[in-house]
Each structure stands twice: as structure tokens, then as C-alpha cells.
Amino acid sequence: MYKIEAIIREEKMEEVKEALSRAGVTSLTLYQVMGCGSQKGYMETTDAPATEILVRPKIKFEIVVPTREWEEKITETIRRVANTGHIGDGKIFIYNLENAVKIRTGEEGSNAI
């Protein structure tokens, strides 16, 4: 089993969700997060002196899939759809999962996802 975490631009959320649904993803978790990477945030000016804001709003997807083939398919789907070609498009992280347990039934492993 694999856990895929993708951090993408907010404006790409709906497009990525739709693409994942078409690819066969039936469950995922979404978070509104803040962060920065290569773009290094931005400057904000108000009545006070300019303040450097080091984080930007992003969307984080978490998806667990049963096989390497699914991991590759879903990772490529996210990469393709979330890509704008500009700094700040995001990152995808992939983890090997040792186990999963469905709370309601006690099923484990791929049966739990």
C-alpha cells in the first residue's frame, strides 16, 4: 500500500478532484494548508510597513492506494493536472504504508482502504 500526499495550488483543487474521480479514486482527504517552497512567499503592504509573508495558501490531498500501479497512475494524474509550469505548482510525496485498519469492521491492509 502507498500513501500519496500532494500539495497543490488552491485554484487547481476542483480540476484535480475531477481528474482523480475519473481515474477511479473513491476516497481521499483534503486539507487547506499554508506553506512555501521555491517561490519564497510574497510581500504584503498595508498601512503599516511592508511585511514579508512567508507562506501561501495551498491544498493538500491524501490518498491511499493498494498497489504500485495505482500509485503511479494517481501520481501522474495529479502531476499532469496540477501543473501550470510556474514556481509554486506544489509537490507530491509518496510513502510506503505498513498497514491500514478500518475502524468499523476491523479489516486490515488493502481490504481496509
What is the amino acid identity at position 62? Answer: E
Q: What are phi and psi of 103, to 5 degrees?
A: -60, -45
Angle at CA of residue 15, ends 19 and 5, nearest 5° = 70
DSSP state, 108?
A: B
Task: Answer yes or no: are the C-beta atoms of 59 and 30 closer than 8 Å.
Answer: yes
Helix (H, G, I), strand (E, B) or coil at 16: helix
Q: For each of the chain's 113 residues, which pLDDT tens digit applies?
A: 999 999 999 999 999 999 999 999 999 999 999 988 766 655 555 566 666 667 889 999 999 999 999 999 999 999 999 999 998 899 999 999 999 999 999 999 999 99
Tell me the pTM: 0.85
CATH number assigned to the domain with residue range 2-112, chosen from the 4 options 3.30.1490.190, 3.90.1150.10, 3.40.50.720, 3.30.70.120? 3.30.70.120
